[in-house]
Structure 1
Amino acid sequence: MTKPSVVVLDYGSGNIRSAERALERAGAEVTVTADFDTALNADGLFVPGVGAYEACMTGLKAVRGDRIIGRRLAGGRPVLGVCVGMQILFDRGVEHGVVTEGCGEWPGTVERLDAPIIPHMGWNTLEVPEGTKLFAGLDAGTRFYFVHSYAVRKWELTDTGRMRAPLVTWATHGEPFVAAVENGPLSATQFHPEKSGDAGAHVLRNWLGQLR
């Protein structure tokens, strides 16, 4: 069977090599690139992200990553955002009083978590919705690895009844926050599947299975 092709979008935001290796182990043919056409035409696009929201958006726009994401989704082509690569899919991020416009694929604001210990660093369980594809086959209580200080604390997209509502997974660190979203071809995780051992590998295999 031919391996699905996945581009890890290289726009200057870290965890590129660990993502590449994890996707290869999960069964993908991986290319790390910022080339517009290659990223547009791959079976799947993996959008990483580490660091400040504003810096990630600046890097993303420099390689036209926002346009790549938008065009892929318009054509039903799968995209997976991870950590800040998830956060930039929302309307905006607020860090140290600076408001940065995101890709706007989902309404919502990325804000600093209200928690006694920041950053949130380590393993955490999830509250997974019924019907999930990303977490299918995993036991309740499975833990995933997080490293972040900011998150979406409120899900703002309401079900209009005219379309299937996104599946939202939650975690808690001081307060509940959005840990993953599944929305047709667009999926995202606040945790790092590439750093989450067997559980993360399982999630990546589930995602790759949707590319075929």
Structure 2
Amino acid sequence: MIGIIDYGMGNLYSLSKALERLGYAYEFVSRPERLNDFAGVILPGVGAFGDAMTNIRRLGLEEGIRTYAASGRPVLGICLGMQLLFEKSEEHGTHAGLSLLGGEAVRFRGDYKVPHMGWNQLQVKQEHPLLEGVNSGDYVYFVHSYHVRVSDPAVLLATSDYHQDVTAIVGRDNVFGMQFHPEKSGDTGMRLLRNFAGQCEGGKA
């Protein structure tokens, strides 16, 4: 069973429907004591970083998510949820994140359209079970105004190009993130979700 963390700022409907199409059981979870019921959890997110962390703390989920990650079970952050896995964001001031990975979310700066919205190609940086069946050149769907600068390039599983290298997929041990929306990214996105769900269910995809 996969837990989708509901802290009031996630795109829960499309994500849950994607898991249904893949045949994986899920439940929404908003209480930290229930996190241990799940083989893996997904942290979605839409909106502002600071508001998201405020909601997470109000629900008592901050330490719950950290403890869950320390247990070795898979955690996946999607879009804003990926940014929340890092140490901080500069969105509307400086806000501390979950610090499961090193780095910060910064705003796109330049003479180009912000937010970055649309289909862009992945550039795979290293082989990983999460990326099985996914290749450089595959397209995924982004919607974001902030992007993550990682402290350790070893966590970069894939990048994309939007006037610069953009962190697209990260992973270290059991903690993963996708800046784009896999649930809205066609066959490639479904493959990525299937790979993550397979890890949650003991590698059974």
Q: TM-score range by the shorter chain?
A: over 0.9
For residues 135 and 165 of structure 2, what CA distance do their matches in structure 1 show?
20
Following superposition, the deviation at residue 59 of structure 1 comes to 1.0
For residues 91 and 48 of structure 1, what CA distance do their matches in structure 2 show?
17
Map Cα deviations across residues 7-39 of structure 1 (whole Å, 9 max, x no partner): 111101130111111112122111012022322
Matched, 1:188 2:177: yes
- Report the counterpart of residue 161 of structure 1 in structure 2: none
Please tell me the root mean square deviation across aligned C-alpha atoms, in Å: 1.4
For residues 26 and 167 of structure 1, what CA distance do their matches in structure 2 show?
26
**Is the 1:44–1:79 Cα contact (8 Å) retained in structure 2?**
yes
**Is the 2:124–2:135 Cα contact (8 Å) retained in structure 1?**
no
Following superposition, the deviation at residue 193 of structure 1 comes to 0.5
Following superposition, the deviation at residue 167 of structure 1 comes to 4.1
Q: Point out the more displaced range, 59-68 or 85-94.
A: 59-68
SS for the counterpart of 1:85 is helix
List aligned pairs for 1:101-180, cutoff 5 A: 101-115=96-110, 116-152=112-148, 154-157=149-152, 165-180=154-169
**Is the 2:31–2:61 Cα contact (8 Å) retained in structure 1?**
no
For residues 110 and 168 of structure 1, what CA distance do their matches in structure 2 show?
17
Q: Name whichever structure is richer in helix by fraction.
A: 2
Q: TM-score, normalised by structure 2?
A: 0.92
**Is the 2:130–2:192 Cα contact (8 Å) retained in structure 1?**
yes
- Taking a change above 3 Å as real, the CA distance of residues 79 and 138 of structure 1, as seen in their structure-2 partners, is same
SS for the counterpart of 2:157 is strand
Matched, 1:63 2:59: yes
SS for the counterpart of 1:66 is helix
- Report the counterpart of residue 200 of structure 1 in structure 2: 189
AA matched with 2:165: P
For residues 39 and 86 of structure 1, what CA distance do their matches in structure 2 show?
18
For residues 117 and 51 of structure 2, what CA distance do their matches in structure 1 show?
21
For residues 165 and 125 of structure 2, what CA distance do their matches in structure 1 show?
14
SS for the counterpart of 1:117 is coil
Matched, 1:16 2:5: no
Aligned partner (choices 52, 76, 79) of residue 48 of structure 2:
52
**Is the 2:143–2:180 Cα contact (8 Å) retained in structure 1?**
yes
- Report the counterpart of residue 35 of structure 1 in structure 2: 31
Number of residue pairs the alignment of both structures matches? 200
SS for the counterpart of 1:180 is strand
Q: Once the two structures are aligned, what percentage of the paired residues are identical?
A: 38
Q: TM-score, normalised by structure 1?
A: 0.89
- Taking a change above 3 Å as real, the CA distance of residues 107 and 138 of structure 1, as seen in their structure-2 partners, is closer
Aligned partner (choices 95, 99, 116) of residue 94 of structure 2:
99
For residues 23 and 124 of structure 2, what CA distance do their matches in structure 1 show?
24
Map Cα deviations across residues 68-87 of structure 1 (whole Å, 9 max, x no partner): 22111211011100001000
Q: Point out the more displaced range, 62-71 or 47-56.
A: 62-71
SS for the counterpart of 1:68 is helix
The runs of 5 or more residues in structure 1 that have no matched partner are: 159-164
Following superposition, the deviation at residue 176 of structure 1 comes to 1.4
SS for the counterpart of 2:152 is coil
Following superposition, the deviation at residue 107 of structure 1 comes to 1.7
The runs of 5 or more residues in structure 2 that have no matched partner are: none
